[in-house]
């Protein structure tokens, strides 16, 4: 039987007991997954390993998990991928977060553009979606979720290679090295403005496209992530 996997913030080590007092986690274990003392589970904290153990105690107030097995995560992503997603409709942005987390992106950057339909996000919910997607997909880390920022500030603060999706560009052909920091910039439903294209030229940002295909914003972010990380 496959064990459930959960993200925790505690320090983890084989042979160690950890105490969990997070009310949301306790509720999830007891009410959603119907776990009880002596049941087994897997926990991780984003530092490279999973740890399997059993509940010594599981109540509404606390859980104590005895960790008796360490599982090294061997998968190495093709690169350190940052997804710069222009803020789009709530459900669509959440979908991008979930799927790009499953694929292996290390960070999601919400970007405010001239044609963004909204300017803010429920970051607590976005972080929860990213955490749950990391738990489900078996990855060893949870992507960092950045505060929404304007396009110019985002470009100024990123120190890796960055590419922008634009319909007039050549088809996607991004070559990467293991550990290389790469950003992909996906525009809003209405596309980029001339001012934003001038900004890309100023920062010497290379563009890419999907050829003749015109994809929705959320589809483009996921497709680009797959082509960069899973090819």
Tell me what pLDDT residue 10 has: 94
Pairing status of strand 206-208 against strand 161-165: parallel
Residue 11 sits in a domain whose CATH number is 2.40.240.20
* CB of 144 closer than 8 Å to CB of 109: no
Tell me what pLDDT residue 214 has: 77
The residue from 49, 72, 95 where one domain ends is 72
Tell me what pLDDT residue 47 has: 84
Residue 103 sits in a domain whose CATH number is 3.40.1280.10
- The answer to whether residues 87 and 44 belong to one domain is no
Query: For residue 156, what are the domain limits?
Result: 80-229
Strand extents, DSSP E, the chain:
5-7, 17-20, 40-44, 49-58, 63-72, 80-86, 107-112, 144-145, 149-150, 161-165, 181-186, 206-208
Tell me what pLDDT residue 117 has: 79
How many domains are there within the chain?
Answer: 2
pTM score: 0.86
- The answer to whether residues 120 and 199 belong to one domain is yes
Q: What is the mean pLDDT of each run of 10 residues along the chain (231 residues)?
A: 90 96 94 95 90 96 96 78 95 96 96 88 95 91 95 95 81 70 91 93 88 84 89 62
- The answer to whether residues 170 and 68 belong to one domain is no
Tell me what pLDDT residue 75 has: 65
- The answer to whether residues 87 and 103 belong to one domain is yes
């Amino acid at each position: 039987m496959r064990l459930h996997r959960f993200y925790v913030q505690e320090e983890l080590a084989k042979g160690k007991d950890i105490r969990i007092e997070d009310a949301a986690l306790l509720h999830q274990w007891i009410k959603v997954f119907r776990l009880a003392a002596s049941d087994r589970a897997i926990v991780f904290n984003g530092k490279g390993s999973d740890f399997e153990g059993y509940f010594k105690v599981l109540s509404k107030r606390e859980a104590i998990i005895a960790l008796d097995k360490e599982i090294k995560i061997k998968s190495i992503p093709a690169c350190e991928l940052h997804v710069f997603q222009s803020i789009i409709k709530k459900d669509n942005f959440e979908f991008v977060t979930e799927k790009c987390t499953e694929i292996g992106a290390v960070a999601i950057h919400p970007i405010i553009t001239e044609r963004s339909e909204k300017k803010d996000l429920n970051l607590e919910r976005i972080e929860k979606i990213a955490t749950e997607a990391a738990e489900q997909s078996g990855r060893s880390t949870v992507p960092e979720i950045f505060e929404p920022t304007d396009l110019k500030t985002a470009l100024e603060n990123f120190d890796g290679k960055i590419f922008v999706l634009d319909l007039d560009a050549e088809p996607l052909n991004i070559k990467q090295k293991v550990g290389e920091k790469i950003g992909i910039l996906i525009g809003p439903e209405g596309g980029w403005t001339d001012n934003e294209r001038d900004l890309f030229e100023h920062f010497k940002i290379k563009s890419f496209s999907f050829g003749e295909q015109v994809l929705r914003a959320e589809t483009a972010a996921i497709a680009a992530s797959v082509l960069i990380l899973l090819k």
